[in-house]
């Protein structure tokens, strides 16, 4: 079992000094990865299904990870997740390639299709066809990253006769992670991603999602070059060794820990506790 830490760009870690301290402590304690979240805007006042109060700060994922990269040496840097249909795919491809180059090839690109309509409305982006648009954007980004002479022609994006350098340090591109808890998300991860990410799941919800992934694997052709689908989960509730071992027994490869921390000391205390009780013991 590997352990990641979620929220390196939000809450207390939106403060750069706290982010630096937490990133350094997590890396030295054996965490394998640090993860950002994303909401460009939040509904004010907070209404379901918005996950956090509107006062919650979120640094931009690419900017945050570039900063953290400068203060770490080996820990992986993951977007968990970027809301892909809200982004221009060529601009995002440039941003993420830059992070991968600056970090020495440590980026993990996690994406999702989004679920807050108010956020889409504020950005002037259609809430419809989010899944189809996301998969086109991902294909377009792969073209920019992988093709000698990039071109793509789709329903939502098209280009040719361009270059966008530098390309990512990792070849053919950084690992792709797709998040979401729906049958469509399971199919997208199976067909297009190296890994799947489930957020805020207890053991029973994780078991249900893994069953959904198994159904998707039986129904969707998975390209051989993607390899085994890696599974990461942010567990809901208190995490102890017994619970971590149960997640591992289900087939989870990584637990990405997150709590609604209010201060830097709370984050650092949990990093120390997890390092002492779980990392290397599960």
**pLDDT tens-digit series, residues 28-59:** 999 999 999 999 999 999 999 999 999 999 99
**Residue 248 CB burial class (10 angstroms; 0-12, 13-18, ≥19):** middle
- Taking only the tens place, the pLDDT of each residue in 237-276 is 889 999 999 999 999 999 999 999 999 999 999 999 999 9
Q: Mean pLDDT over residues 61-74, rounded? A: 98
CA distance 73 to 52: 31
- Taking only the tens place, the pLDDT of each residue in 69-78 is 999 999 999 9
Domains of the chain: 2-277 (3.20.20.30)
pLDDT value of position 238: 86
pLDDT class for 105, splitting at 50, 70, 90?
very high
Mean pLDDT, the chain, rounded, equals 97
Tokens of 98: 């830059």
* pLDDT value at 89 more than 90: yes
Name, in order, each residue with C-beta under 8 angstroms of 211's C-beta and a sequence gap of 6 or more.
none
Q: Mean pLDDT over residues 80-95, rounded? A: 98
- Taking only the tens place, the pLDDT of each residue in 202-236 is 999 999 999 999 999 999 999 999 999 999 999 99
Share of the chain above pLDDT 70, in %: 100
Q: Is the pTM of this model over 0.75?
A: yes
CA distance 100 to 107: 5
**Residue 2 CB burial class (10 angstroms; 0-12, 13-18, ≥19):** middle
């Amino acid at each position: 079992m590997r352990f990641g830490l979620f929220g390196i760009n939000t809450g207390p870690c939106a403060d750069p000094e706290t982010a630096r301290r937490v990133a350094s402590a997590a890396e030295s304690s054996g965490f394998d990865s640090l993860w950002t979240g994303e909401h460009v805007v939040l509904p004010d006042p907070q209404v379901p299904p918005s996950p956090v109060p509107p006062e919650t700060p979120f640094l931009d994922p690419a900017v945050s990870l570039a900063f953290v990269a400068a203060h770490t040496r080996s820990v992986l840097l993951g977007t968990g997740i970027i809301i892909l249909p809200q982004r221009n795919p060529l601009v995002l491809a440039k941003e993420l390639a830059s992070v991968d180059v600056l970090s020495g090839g440590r980026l993990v690109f996690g994406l999702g299709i989004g679920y807050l309509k108010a956020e889409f409305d504020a950005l002037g982006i259609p809430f419809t066809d989010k899944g189809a648009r996301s998969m086109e954007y991902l294909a377009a980004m792969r073209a920019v990253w992988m093709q000698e002479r990039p071109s793509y022609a789709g329903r939502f994006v098209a280009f040719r006769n361009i270059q966008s350098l530098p390309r990512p340090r990792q070849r053919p591109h950084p690992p792709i992670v797709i998040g979401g808890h729906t049958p469509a998300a399971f199919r997208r991860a199976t067909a297009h991603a190296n890994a799947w990410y489930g957020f805020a799941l207890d053991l029973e919800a994780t078991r249900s999602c893994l069953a959904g992934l198994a159904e998707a694997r039986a129904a969707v052709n998975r390209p051989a070059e993607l390899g085994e689908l890696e599974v990461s989960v942010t567990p809901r509730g208190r995490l102890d060794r017994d619970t971590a071992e149960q997640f591992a027994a289900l087939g989870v490869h990584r637990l990405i820990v997150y709590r609604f921390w209010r201060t830097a000391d709370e984050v650092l205390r949990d990093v120390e506790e997890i390092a002492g009780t779980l990392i290397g013991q599960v």
